[in-house]
Amino acid sequence: MNRLSGKIALITGAAQGLGAAMAAKFVEEGARVVLTDINAAGAAEQAAQIGAAARSIGHDVTSPEEWEAAIAFAEAEFGGIHILVNNAGISAGTTVEATSFEDWRRVHAIDLDSVFFGCKLALPLMARTVHATGVRGSIVNISSIAGVIAGHNSAAYNSAKAAVRHLTKSVALHCAKQRYGITCNSIHPVFIDTPILDGITSRFGREEGLAKLGRQIPLGAVGEPDDIAWAAVYLASDEAKMVTGHGLYVDGGISAM
């Protein structure tokens, strides 16, 4: 459908899971994409599978210097950035009493600080790219339904993902005030069948683990990576040109309970 024709995207955490699915879907919809990941070999493998419209670079999203390198790489390879997807993240399931300060800081560094660095450091190039091409820009931050609905055993993860939701709103208002032509929205997935669920599927077995999680969701099933990829395509497309500062729940109805 070429919903993203003429656009250049940078997607973090793209060696597997949601990032890889979004990269493939973006290219199918006409975009050129830079896949970044701390797992440089995995990102390169995904880019090779996608084809000529994809490039990859190793990228520790907690490092401002590596953010600058990834952004410069996107400009050198494709000429700029229209779409930034802050997807890289980790899960952590411990209570507030059981969470060490080291783990607290690590979760926030990867899940929250990386989004701050991405928005702060990519926006100047994005604004220049939008101005030069006349093609609208988008930031899509992957939060979680855990940033809206808390759990007793996810203190750090709940905190970081909730902060991503609110940071998204601040960035959206900043971009609007600056008249950048860039929107900023967050996506809030429920359980999605990606490696982030390996802990529970290895503990209970894949089939039972997914069924156990699915029983918590009104629609009765764990989501698929393309469920999030399609949501990201929408928010990055011109169909969503009047949508900014919004949190899109892809949660099978769990937030309605």
| CA–CA dist 113, 118 (Å, integer) | 9
| CA–CA dist 184, 237 (Å, integer) | 12
Catalytic residue among 157, 180, 234, 249: 157
The answer to whether the beta carbons of residues 35 and 43 sit under 8 Å apart is yes
Torsion of CA 213, 215, 221, 222, to 10 degrees: -10
Other CB atoms within a 10 A radius of the CB of residue 243 amount to 15
**Full DSSP string of 155-222:** HHHHHHHHHHHHHHHHHHHHHHHHT-SEEEEEEEE-SBSSGGGHHHHHHH-HHHHHHHHHTTSTTSS-
Q: Quick one: tokens of 176?
A: 């609007």
| CA–CA dist 34, 215 (Å, integer) | 36
The answer to whether the beta carbons of residues 184 and 138 sit under 8 Å apart is yes
Other CB atoms within a 10 A radius of the CB of residue 99 amount to 19
Is residue 157 annotated as a catalytic residue, yes or no?
Answer: yes
Q: Which residues are catalytic?
A: 157
